[in-house]
Chains A and B, each alone.
Chain A
Amino acid sequence: MTDSKTPLLDELEKGPWPSFVKDMKQAAEKKPAAADLLNQLELSYKDRIGHWKHGGIVGVKGYGSGVIGRYSDRPDLFPNVRAFHTMRVNHPTGWFYKTDALRKLCDIWDKHGSGLTNLHGSTGDAILLGTTTDHLQPCFDDLSEAGFDLGGSGSALRTPSACVGPARCEWACIDSLDICYQATMTLQDQIHRPMFPYKFKIKVSACANDCVAAIARSDLAIMGTWKGRIQVDPAEVRAYADAGLDIRGEVRDLCPTKCMEWSEADRTLVIHDGDCNRCMHCLNVMPKALRPGKERGASILVGGKAPIVQGSLLSWVIVPFMKLEPPYTELFDLIARIQDWWDENGRSRERLGELINRLGMRHFLKAMGLPAVPQMVKHPRTNPYVFFWPEEIDKKEVK
């Protein structure tokens, strides 16, 4: 027998892992809303049904996104979460905060909300959990004064996000931070004024290690890569071998395209760069010996999404290599054409990848003015799904 009001939630505190219940209990000591949140969640576990009503209010003055309305369906029992709205705050690119910025953010949320946060949500925003309708505008005003803005929600461009890129990573082939920042600033209207068929996500990874999982999570993925030869330092390659690295087993044999040869006799590594698909495996294993090629840019991929409405999709390449330098005119022109085509042809709640699957990649490429290239395969080492237009086939050869 226990005196606890939340015996079911208490179970989630057991075990070796940090528990959100513990955090909520700490917040409940200061905030009645957090206490009611705990109690409502306990009821949800008991009833095996959620007790939130979703949707409604969407923002502050001039904004159509950034706030997600949440209401309790049992305000009689839990009056302090009658309204418990979420605010999405556009995170700093690469999630770099100074401590005073974090303190300001927390102070503002202590003043206007439940004090509970989710840093960070899956899109990347700083998620502030739980405030009332009358606090939305004052909270936004305080956030603005502190230099923060709301992020995207609903049928809008969601807050672009990027890996830490050149700020901390030796693999960065592009300035993911600047590209993300410029995308955020250039596309402000699309973030704050939802006018799309559904959500649209842009993520930037500075190399193919793809630390923000852009390939799986974004409608438009910008992924750093290079052209030409991988830079090899033969002395460092030998040093890895001397240190006991099994270069044959751990590097050569795990290369997906088998594009390299390793000679045990003279301890030399030869890379046939023409066969390399720039997966980064060898570079990751021998960072001191191998570096990306000198001519750097990005591959542009489209169509990734998580499994809502239809199943999940991985992105696929539409531009194998784009030189990306400020002001990124070529990139933003392409984004505008993609979004316009999707907006014109997409059904309500149809993501870009689903639309391309429905109409066909060749329709998409024709509309974009992009040539079909071998990199556009649906799955590696299977048939390309880019087909010829009838008028492109020499009829004399078709019997």
Chain B
Amino acid sequence: MSAEIKERVLAYFREKSKGEKKMFYIKDVVKGLPDVDRHAVHEAVKELLDEEALKYWSSGSTTYLMLAEYFPKDA
């Protein structure tokens, strides 16, 4: 896995999380890196989840991704 792709994924989250919105669909992330293969983005996200830099947030029916630092403390 390219460290560069992981860094770009993280940069996407940091940039997009500057506003009110902190949670994103995986498809948002893929769209945010249009020059990177979709599967490579998925793999990078999975590694970042394993490293706990990102976290899943789920309503039960839909799953979102967010930076671990913004994950609600009561959740």
Contact = CB atoms under 8 A, between A and B. Distances in A.
A195 B62 contact: no
Contacts of B72: 56
Given A64-B49, A156-B63, A58 B38 contact: no
A54 interface: yes
Contacts of B56: 58-59, 64-65, 154, 194
Q: Is the interface of B mostly helix, strand, loop or mixed?
A: mixed
Interface stretch (B1-9, B12-20, B22-30): B22-30
Contacts of A59: 56
Interface in A304-327: 308
Contact of A68 (B25, B42, B46, B58): B58
A64 B56 CA distance: 6
Interface residues of A, number: 31
Contacts of B26: 155, 194-197
Interface residues of B, number: 21
Nearest to A57: B75
A347 B31 CA distance: 11
Nearest to A154: B63
B34 interface: no
Interface of B: 25-28, 38, 42, 45-46, 49-50, 56-63, 72, 74-75
Interface of A: 54-59, 62, 64-65, 68-69, 71, 86, 153-156, 193-199, 308, 343-344, 346-349
Given A68-B60, A155-B25, A195-B45, 7 more contacts: A58-B56, A65-B56, A65-B58, A153-B58, A154-B63, A195-B26, A197-B27
29 contacts: A54-B59, A55-B58, A55-B75, A56-B75, A57-B75, A58-B58, A62-B50, A64-B49, A64-B56, A65-B56, A68-B60, A69-B58, A69-B75, A71-B75, A154-B59, A154-B61, A154-B62, A155-B25, A155-B26, A156-B63, A193-B46, A194-B56, A194-B58, A195-B42, A197-B26, A197-B27, A308-B61, A348-B27, A349-B62
